Amino acid sequence: MLTKERLILMDKDTINILCKQFGIDEKVIEFVNSKERLIIDKFKYIDKVKEYNQYKVIKSMQEARLSSTDFNWTTGYGYGDVGRDKVEEIYSMVFNTEDALVRPLIVSGTHAITLTLSGLLRPGDEFISITGSPYDTLQKVIGVKGNKVGTLMDYGIRYREIPLKNGKIDVGKVMDNISNDTKLLLIQRSTGYSDRKAITIDEMETAIKEIKKKFEDIIIMIDNCYGEFIEKREPTDVGADIMAGSLIKNPGGGLALSGGYIVGKASLVEQIANRSTAPGLGKDCGLTFGTTRTTLQGLFLAPHIVAEALKGALLVGIVYKELGFEIVPDIEETRSDIIQAIKFNSPERVVEFCKGIQNASVVDSYVTPLPWDMPGYEDKVVMAAGGFIDGSSIELSADGPMREPYFAYYQGGLTYEHCKLGVMKSLNNFYKNDLIEKNKLIL
């Protein structure tokens, strides 16, 4: 029986809806609720960070004198697109940088990173990833995997990588490997498809300070995907020169229709802007197609949405940890992205987990996700992504490559309640398909 104490966070009517309309077993509901109580105090810290970042965004919009007329837009080349210019002014304020490039035609985080690297590096230059191997899609951009045609290496740009040491940037080894040809150091903040936790702002600050003492002119670039508004500070607050990310992740707040951003030193943004359009045109051209309102409204909501997603990540983490699965990051570790990785040790569990997340979605909930050859990835990938914005990973979503040791990567959720439903639906799949020991759900 479900006791009042165990279900203090959920009333009987809600339980009935979950059982009858969503087909979730009462034992699953009871188990998730009992684990929720273990993390509820951690929500207070998340809310403090949310409040700080919310005021930061509001102040930036006020200082930029955001006006209702800024939501108007033009056609053609985009000359006089005041909304576009206002978006970029606000982004540069939020991220404490000299300039910003924020465009709807940047199709993804990988595209934003590619623009940045190709805009700053020249044939003969070298760049080093100092957080180990980057995310799968970027490996194909560099040319270390996949077709080499059109990659950075194809254009004569050299690449090396320095592995992490005990999950942290190996600053000493990085500095020992910097040569006269090394122009840029890349830090991937998020875990990607790995078993490491995200790099924290404190860790970045320590590394950047040490490196800049000896190599003042080297460019330090941050792949900030999944990391915006997780902490009170951003990488550009602690010395990063240039940073890139996606608008259909954290900063888009679930409303941005498409796009990416690049923020940093004005001289670097100018080079990247020339690459994004053409030399001499730079930031002066590029239509926003009327997306200014949703881009900025999404940014306004982003601190709150990110907080909801973080609470959902904590819940999925504690639930599967209590069932005996390894999770990254652990519940007590400092988080620096919205991703919760769960090591499932079998492809069946990864697929059933993603099916549960898809079943909880509000768009395409009836679709069954299966592993497929997703463009840009070396292995087959299973992906649950039933969002209002196609591919939006700030919305409830999960994915994982079909390779050992079979991690699933959970992220997003516009509301905590939606996250919680996703956790229960995924666990219900495990329960029905005998993918866990059923007696573990007995409290």
* Residues 304 and 363 placed together within one structural domain of the fold: yes
Alpha carbon distance 105, 289 (integer Å):
10
* Residues 18 and 118 placed together within one structural domain of the fold: no
Name the strands in the sheet holding 126-129, side by side, starting at the edge strand that comes first in the sequence.
Answer: 99-103, 260-264, 242-246, 219-223, 182-188, 126-129, 158-161
Alpha carbon distance 389, 397 (integer Å):
12
- Domain end, chosen from 248, 268, 289, is at 289
Q: How confident is the model at residue 111 (pLDDT cuts 50, 70, 90)?
A: very high
* Per-residue model confidence (pLDDT) at position 275: 96
Angle at which helix 416-432 crosses helix 26-39, to 10 degrees, equals 130
* Per-residue model confidence (pLDDT) at position 12: 85
Beta strands in 58-168 (DSSP E): 99-103, 126-129, 158-161
- Report pTM: 0.95
* Residues 243 and 321 placed together within one structural domain of the fold: no
Please state the rounded mean pLDDT for residues 153-165: 97
* Per-residue model confidence (pLDDT) at position 183: 98
**DSSP designation for 168:** B
* Per-residue model confidence (pLDDT) at position 378: 78
Indicate whether 55 belongs to any domain.
no
* Per-residue model confidence (pLDDT) at position 9: 58
| pLDDT > 70 fraction of the chain, expressed in percent and rounded | 98
* Residues 94 and 196 placed together within one structural domain of the fold: yes
Indicate whether 294 belongs to any domain.
no
- Domain end, chosen from 289, 312, 336, is at 289
* Residues 226 and 281 placed together within one structural domain of the fold: yes
* Per-residue model confidence (pLDDT) at position 146: 86
Indicate whether 3 belongs to any domain.
no
Indicate the average pLDDT of the chain: 95
pLDDT digits 0-9 by tens, 274-316: 999 999 999 999 999 999 999 999 999 999 999 999 999 999 9
Cβ within 8 Å of residue 403, ≥6 positions away: 379
Residue whose structure tokens are 């684990």: 35
CATH number of the domain to which 268 belongs = 3.40.640.10
pLDDT of 105 over the 80 cut: yes
Number of domains in the chain: 2
* Residues 115 and 216 placed together within one structural domain of the fold: yes
Given a contact cutoff of 8 angstroms between Cβ atoms, the answer to whether 226 and 250 are in contact is yes
* Residues 253 and 319 placed together within one structural domain of the fold: no
**DSSP designation for 392:** -
Q: Show the domain range for 283.
A: 75-289
* Residues 276 and 170 placed together within one structural domain of the fold: yes
pLDDT of 268 over the 90 cut: yes
174 token code pair: 């990085």
Alpha carbon distance 441, 159 (integer Å):
49
Q: How confident is the model at residue 5 (pLDDT cuts 50, 70, 90)?
A: very low
* Per-residue model confidence (pLDDT) at position 1: 38
383 token code pair: 């992906």
Cβ within 8 Å of residue 11, ≥6 positions away: none
Indicate whether 345 belongs to any domain.
yes
